[in-house]
Amino acid sequence: MTKVTFIGAGSAVFAFEIITDLLLTPALEEGVFGLVDIDAERLELAHRIAEKVIALTGRKWRVEASTDRTKILPGTNYLLNTIEVAGLPNVRHDFDIPMKYGVNQCIGDTIGPGGIFKALRTLPAWIDILHDTERLAPDALVMNYTNPMSLTCLTGVRASTLPIVGLCHSIPNTAEQLAGYLGVPFNELKFRAAGVNHLSWIVELTRNGEDMYPLLREKMQDPAIYEQDPVRFEMMLHLGAFVTESSGHTSEYTPYFRKRPDLIAKYMRAEYLGETGFYAANWPTWRKESDEWITRMLAGQEEVPLERGPEYASYIVEAMETDVPAAIYANVPNTGLVTNLPQDGIVEVRCLVNRDGVQPTHFGKLPTQLAALDAMHMAVHDLVATSVLEGDRDAACHALMLDPLTAAVCSPAEIRQMFEEMAQAEAPYLPDWMRV
């Protein structure tokens, strides 16, 4: 019987979405959902909404839930990681301290000061989860949804023998956005993409064999279209390809757009289009609102949406259980897949899935200018993973030194001072070797 276990199930909206997807997958008539979270109240919310959706769909699934993962892991075929480690107490530190030094972040969860310190808090717990999984569910496929995506996958692959795949919706979502900008049906677009998570590139974009990039460059001249994605249109215009994460994310992953007040005023827009401190200002409220939404559905005050969504997890389980192939984009070790990116890192490429698991496909060479930007990120990833696996505090600081935006704004001495201030503020939530 198929068992799907969620670690971090207290992010109940996400668990609800994937559980709904699985229950609406035709071939998956019965199975077990394992729910694990250290927050008992949020775990109970996830447990109750899972039971409700099972009842509404009439499927023969059952739920096991515990704050102790060792009670749930045995028998797991698929493990979904959605943990958030000490996010609430540190979301302001991750933004406010870098801002003092002029490092202006919008989201701060992938690299940059916010992403690096999120990783330093998260990865030790992640390694412990993987070691327990090796012992109690050695045949499980691990699907990671936690950011920083590449860093979490890279550290996991280096620390564990388990197969790990990182899942993110940014590539298909971007392709769908491009169809909207172009005014063409999404199912008529053909695209090819690769890179690193949140900084992958749609290097080919065609319709009926015709290159769509000339038309996209025309469309961006329309202010109504340009204003929906200013940073990404600028990147496309000057670097030759559309990047696969929002303008707000992209603005903080590169050295170009957030290093001076005049550039921020010129290119940044509200919310995910680059708003200063958008994540730090809103994430605690979003967390509360998501719990309230689940509570209203449980109380019958709001209809429970029963629709299979686009997240890849249910399609992977379906393909592996039925041997009906699926194609996805995923974050996997670079075993010669992208030839001009570091071969010991994690890349985002197209993968095929069937009963033999997730099988990455060869991409080849990215245009040099795009590969160079990705390689900067992969150097940060390597240093953070090394710091966590070896308890190397200097490697963590060196990672921040190489962050593209931080390096564009600060001197090495300022970066070290910022690092020490963040380490002191977040000390209760960091590993011992970071508190020296």
What residues act catalytically? 169
Q: For residues 25 and 2, what is the distance between their CA atoms, to the nearest angstrom?
A: 13
Q: Which two tokens stand for residue 287?
A: 């967390």
The residue whose two tokens read 């025309």 is 218
DSSP states of 127-146 as a string? HHHHHHHHHH-TTPEEEE-P
Q: Find all residues with CB under 8 Å of 327, minimum gap 6, and list them.
A: 350, 351, 352, 353
Identify whether the C-beta of residue 111 lies closer than 8 Å to the C-beta of residue 250: no
Element at 243 (helix H, strand E):
strand 242-243
Identify whether the C-beta of residue 331 lies closer than 8 Å to the C-beta of residue 348: yes
The 8-class DSSP code of residue 338 comes to B
Measured CA distances, 198 to 33, 192, 330 (Å): 29, 15, 12
Neighbours of 239 (CB within 10 A): 17
Q: Find all residues with CB under 8 Å of 144, minimum gap 6, and list them.
A: 80, 81, 152, 153, 156, 164, 165, 166, 167, 331
Neighbours of 412 (CB within 10 A): 12
Backbone dihedral angles phi then psi of residue 304, each to the nearest 5 degrees:
-85, 115
Which residues are 66's β-sheet partners?
Answer: 36
Identify whether the C-beta of residue 250 lies closer than 8 Å to the C-beta of residue 199: yes
Question: Quick check: helix, strand or coil at residue 24?
Answer: coil
Q: For residues 78 and 139, what is the distance between their CA atoms, to the nearest angstrom?
A: 9
Q: Which two tokens stand for residue 12?
A: 């109940």
Neighbours of 295 (CB within 10 A): 15
Question: Of 412, 436, 410, 399, which is closest to residue 114 (Cα–Cα)?
Answer: 399
Determine the straight-line distance between the first and last CA of the chain, rounded to whole angstroms.
48
Q: For residues 111 and 128, what is the distance between their CA atoms, to the nearest angstrom?
A: 22
Output the CA angle 143-146-147, nearest 5 degrees. Answer: 135
Which residues are 266's β-sheet partners?
Answer: none
